[in-house]
Amino acid sequence: MRTPRTLEVWKLGTVNYLKSLKLQDKLVSERKANRIPDTLLSLQHPPTYTLGKRRTDHNLLIPEAELKSIGAELHYTQRGGDITFHGPHQAILYPILSLRSIGFGARSYVEALERSMIEFSSLYGVKARAGNKCETGVWVGDRKIGAIGVRISSGITCHGLAFNIDPDMKYFEHIVPCGIADKEVTSLRRETDAQLPSEEVIHEQLVTCLAKVFSYDDVVVKEDPSAILNTLEDDD
């Protein structure tokens, strides 16, 4: 009989990117030491461009110096994937999971993240699909609605997925999104006429879809973000 598996979910609201990186580093160590269960961060970022390990900054189309004037930051990370934009009205999930405990490898993990976003899209009648080879992510036709960029160290995941609810699409014009030049970026708002509920509800639905795809038995939601965000202040 399989031991019941628990996912602990932290709803963090809007979090500065660097702060979220620090938090993930801390949680990855905790997860590796088995001091916490599989954990999921549900959040948004202020306008932020990020690059992956391959540092493909040729895909940033405006000078770095100009980013401040458009109210955005740029960060280099250790995740996989190319350049992307994060901002308000884009739902971000960072699962901090032990892949060994759930018997997943990188490929099956990323496919499950894609399935989570596809399930979620279907709640609004949007027919999304996983990307073709070399186009990891979630697409509606030829338009990208969800992006993935993950890091796995000692079998523990961090970074994760970003799903466009209704972000300001102008920000995507300053990059070659994910390094794919001839494809558009889209959002849930653009793909459905359905009435969208509050963003809080939308985030909860996305979390539920992920928990279902990963077969978690219990989902424990932690509503007080200050409990983990404030512990970071001490390290500054």
Partner 1 sequence: MAARFLWASRAASHLRISVAQRGFASVVLKDLKYADSHEWVKIDGNKATFGITDHAQDHLGDVVYVELPDLGRSVSQGESFGAVESVKATSDINSPVSGKVVEVNEVLTESPGLVNTSPYEEGWIIKVELSDAGEVEKLMDSDKYSKFCEEEDAKH
* Of positions 35, 58, 133, 170, contacts partner 1 by CB under 8 A: 133
Give the range of 17-25, 77-85, 162-170, 222-230 binding partner 1 by CB under 8 A. Answer: 77-85
Residue 149 within binding range of partner 1, rule CB under 8 A: yes
> DSSP assignment, residue 98?
B
Residue 146 within binding range of partner 1, rule CB under 8 A: no
Tokens linked to 55: 């540092």
The angle subtended at Cα 178 by Cα 174 and Cα 180, nearest 5°, is 90
178 is catalytic: yes
Count Cβ atoms within 10 A of the Cβ of residue 208 and give its class: 0-12 exposed, 13-18 middle, 19 or more buried: middle
Give the range of 40-48, 72-80, 194-202, 222-230 binding partner 1 by CB under 8 A. Answer: 72-80
Give the range of 11-19, 41-49, 78-86, 163-171 binding partner 1 by CB under 8 A. Answer: 78-86
Report the C-alpha gap between 185 and 140 in whole angstroms. Answer: 9
Residue 170 within binding range of partner 1, rule CB under 8 A: no
Report, in Å, the least distance between residue 189 CB and partner 1: 24
Residue 57 within binding range of partner 1, rule CB under 8 A: no
Looking at residue 162, its amino acid is: A
Q: Which of 76, 109, 96, 94 is nearest to 33 (CA)?
A: 96
Q: Which residues are catalytic?
A: 178
